[in-house]
Structure 1
Amino acid sequence: MKISKRNVFRLCWFSLITVFFIWQWMAYQSRDLPEDTFKNDTRVSIEKSSDKITFIANSPKSKNEILFFQGGMTDPKAYAPLCRQIANNGYTCHLIKMNWRMPQWNYKKIAAIFELENGNYIIGGHSQGAKMASQFVYENPDLMKGLFLIGTSHPRDFDLSKRTIPTLKIYGELDGLASVSEVLENKDKLPKNSSLTVIKGGNHSQFGYLGKLLTDENAKIDLAEQQERTLKELIRFFNKIGIENEMDR
């Protein structure tokens, strides 16, 4: 039986497409998580539900709690090590699971899960999760105590420059999905009291425990170092918000 050139081309094309999507799917899976990521100990307790993974800070414990939005298409567990380390530093951290791994479809769910009006929450996330965290702040003024954006060029489609919410943007020097030029291009749309921090040698993928994502550049630092630097900047930011809240009382 003869196979036409057209059918051979179609077979090769669909095979390449299939391999590409499988590779992409694997890149967005969590990997190499530290063994203690989901283990309870004296400092951190873990609670899991269909909507979130909560890393509860046992001691010390801040009144402010963290809402962390996963990146688009990524396995939320890729951010569990960072969330655990946040809890190790005294901040209960809620890692929000998005339906179909799409924050843009599911970011408003936190309004039904938490009593946001009566709480002390700092919101943020990575990549598309950061975008939707900023979107939530835009749509719900004065509801959050702070905003942190990791590995994103947003806010891009709306303007937060008239807001006064404490804001931190962390970006990678070698981020191939949210480049330095894109980050700086939208700097004027951030709240006026925002601070920006670049992770030298860091890329997009290593903000989570992920494979190397398509179009991302090669990092010049390893995963552990990028995670440690990111954590350091986040804790400094959270602590500053706590001090400012105490001064306002």
Structure 2
Amino acid sequence: MNRALRVTTWIVAALVVLVLVFLVWANIVMQGTRSAALQVWRDDRVSVRDAGDSVVMSPTGQANGVGIVFIPGAKVDAYAYMASFRQVVAAGTTVVITKPTLHLAFFDLRPLSAFERYAPSVTTWAVGGHSLGGVRACQLADDPGVAGLLLFGSYCANDLSRSDVDVLSVSGSRDGLSTPAKVDAARDRLPADATMTEIQGANHADFGAYGAQPGDLTATIPRSLARAEISAAVERWIEGIRSDVLH
């Protein structure tokens, strides 16, 4: 009995240590850069508020009725994506950037409605995500109420090839994590008319503003240029969604 008790005690202790180590690891987050965040806060075309479980970015001018629920990459701070959507929001789109459970998208099982409620005036919703967040967004895109799917340096694990969701996949030619080869290999899981846009010279970290990321390649274009090309691609995609809704 004593031996069994000792073994059980050691197993429980080991499990406790593993859980603690995991929690510490999960909470070491890649923070958004201060300078990029300040540029957004100072932009009078964009309103930013922290809703607790998400960051809500709204246009201060004329809204276009479109909203995006966006899921961050693994262990990346939600605020790191404000700069990525600054121009998109200024042009009229509402963006709700979620704060995933334990900073990991696959632990977050909340429905889209949990975040859509922060922008009741939005009439057309899309879902998107970066890296692991994009994988989760693909799962949520099965919702019949979702008009669009936005992937930043990501690809789907589930099959959406027969879906009528409007898909934009933006990738980087210098992405060392969601490599061009991986994005291409998963292409058949997206609808045939999905828009595939590769930013030449951009890497994985160019989709946010949180510095360099382990395993990534070095970008060969300035981050400002990558961000401008990403924003332009997203704005064209949003106009397509609006056109589909109107017709």
Confirm or deny a common fold (TM above 0.5). yes
SS of equivalent residue, structure 1 residue 30: coil
Determine the structure 1 residue equivalent to 2:228.
228
Percent of aligned positions that are identical: 25
Going from structure 1 to structure 2, the CA distance change for 1:163 and 1:103 (only over 3 Å counts) comes to same
1:173, distance to aligned residue in structure 2 (A): 0.1
Query: How far has the Cα of 1:47 moved from its partner?
Result: 2.0
- Output one character per residue of 1:92-121: Cα deviation in whole Å (capped at 9) or x when no partner: 111111122111111524333435999410
- Provide the C-alpha distance between the structure 1 equivalents of 2:123 and 2:91, rounded to a whole number of angstroms: 19
> Residue 39 of structure 1: CA displacement?
3.8
Report the equivalent of 1:144.
Answer: 146
| Paired AA for residue 96 in structure 1 | T
Question: Which of 93, 110, 119 in structure 1 is aligned with 2:112?
Answer: 110
Structure 2 residue runs without a partner (length 5+):
1-23
Alignment of 1:164-183 (within 5 A): 164-183=164-183
Q: Tell me the equivalent position of 1:82.
A: 84
Kept in 1: contact 2:54–2:78 (CA 8 A): no
2:15 aligned residue: none
CA contact (8 A) 1:82 1:231 kept: yes
Q: Following the alignment from structure 1 to structure 2, what is the Cα–Cα distance between the partners of residues 125 and 161?
A: 18
RMSD: 2.4
Q: Partner residue of 1:155?
A: 156
Partner amino acid, structure 2, of 1:36: Q
Q: Which residue of 1 aligns with 2:40?
A: 37
Give a deviation string over 1:113-156, Cα, whole Å, max 9, x none.
43599941011011111111001113x2x22011111101x213
- Aligned residues of 1:69 and 1:125 also touching (Cα < 8 A): yes
- In structure 2, how many angstroms separate the alpha carbons of the residues matched to 1:119 and 1:61? 11
Task: Give the drift of 1:40.
Answer: 6.3
* Equivalent-residue separation in structure 1 for 2:110 and 2:192 (angstroms): 25
Structure 1 runs not aligned, ≥5 long: 1-20
Instruction: For residues 189-238 of structure 1, give each alpha carbon's deviation from its aligned partner in whole angstroms, at most 9, with x where no partner exists.
Output: 10222010000000001111122111100000111111111001000000
Is 1:122 matched up with 2:126? yes
- Alpha-carbon distance in structure 2 between the residues aligned to 1:107 and 1:241: 26
CA distance in 1, matches of 2:176, 2:98: 25
> Is 2:54 the counterpart of 1:52?
yes
Question: Aligned partners of 1:107, 1:72: CA distance in 2, in Å?
Answer: 15
Q: Is the CA contact 1:39–1:46 (under 8 Å) kept in the aligned structure 2?
A: no
